Amino acid sequence: MGTDDGFDFEGPVHEIAVEPFWIDKHEVTVREFEEFVRATSYVTQAESFGWSVVFDMESGEWKPVEGANWRHPEGPGSNAAQSEPVTQVSYNDARRYAEWAGKRLPTEAEWEYAARGGLAGKKYSWSDQLRPDGRCLANWWQGAFPQTNTADDGYVGRAPVGEFAPNGYGLFDMAGNVWEWCADWFDENYYSRSPAINPTGPVSGAERVIRGGSWMCSENFCQGYRVAARSHSSAESAMNNLGFRCVRSAQNG
């Protein structure tokens, strides 16, 4: 787990073991989140706040937008496609969905184990090459972020789930598309003291771990689509490039 060829808080490389678990094949979609809302009348934090932050493609900046929420990720004039990953959901929203579904959010260790797809020590979930044979194998930003987006992968922003080939475990979009919430608190020094079996992160913290990168990650900005890449955000925050997927311990069926 981790890398010694990245940001300081992505290392050191260390060996861990996790108990067997099931993980969603793809990120939770707008359609699936809508079923949860319909069944529970749940109101997300962005809806309660009345606004959320949106990356504005024209200005290349993050902006607060009134009315931005999971139904309208870029604001009132936008509509989320049913087959795309749900975004504008906070960690707290994601956890509530997972509980409703009889699941939970993955630990950071579970997430990375799944993302690697059986390829130990590789930079990406498919190989050490970002674009083997010139192909884009995930939804990320091609070009110099934020000025130029060539959309070589076929998408300017979010893509429907499952549009790119799965990894070795049959999991889709473990790299790119949207960042994914993990259960762990974030600590940049945690790897240096992480337990070797079933690490679950620090007991407390200010922000939660997010993994996997998004459509905004580029070669000149964050490179979050690397399998060991990690970042963090406050539990109340929501963005139009941040979603989640769920897991369930194998002993729970």
Asked if 244 contacts 99 with a C-beta cutoff of 8 angstroms, the reply is no
Q: 5 is written with which tokens?
A: 């060829």
Phi, psi for residue 90 in degrees, rounded to 5? -80, 170
Q: Which strand (E) or helix (H) includes residue 184? A: strand 179-185
Q: What is the mean pLDDT of each run of 10 residues along the chain (253 residues)?
A: 96 97 98 98 98 94 97 97 98 98 98 97 96 97 96 97 98 98 98 97 98 97 96 98 98 71
Tell me the three-class secondary structure of 223-242, residue by residue: CCCCCCCEEEECCCCCCCCE
Give the range of the structural domain holding residue 53, as residue numbers without chain letter. 1-253
Considering its fold, how many domains does the chain have in total?
1
Number of H-type helices and E-type strands within the chain = 4, 8
CATH number of the domain encompassing residue 196: 3.90.1580.10
Cα angle vertex 201, ends 70, 106, to 5°? 45
Which pLDDT score, from 0 to 100, does residue 253 have? 62
Who contacts 130 (Cβ-Cβ below 8 Å, separation ≥6)? 123, 124, 219
Query: To 10 degrees, the CA torsion angle through 28, 160, 54, 70?
Result: -40
Q: Which strand (E) or helix (H) includes residue 31? A: helix 30-40
> CA 167 to CA 174: how far, in whole Å?
8
> CA 246 to CA 98: how far, in whole Å?
6
> CA 216 to CA 87: how far, in whole Å?
14
Question: Which amino acid would we find at residue 84?
Answer: E
Which pLDDT score, from 0 to 100, does residue 137 have? 98
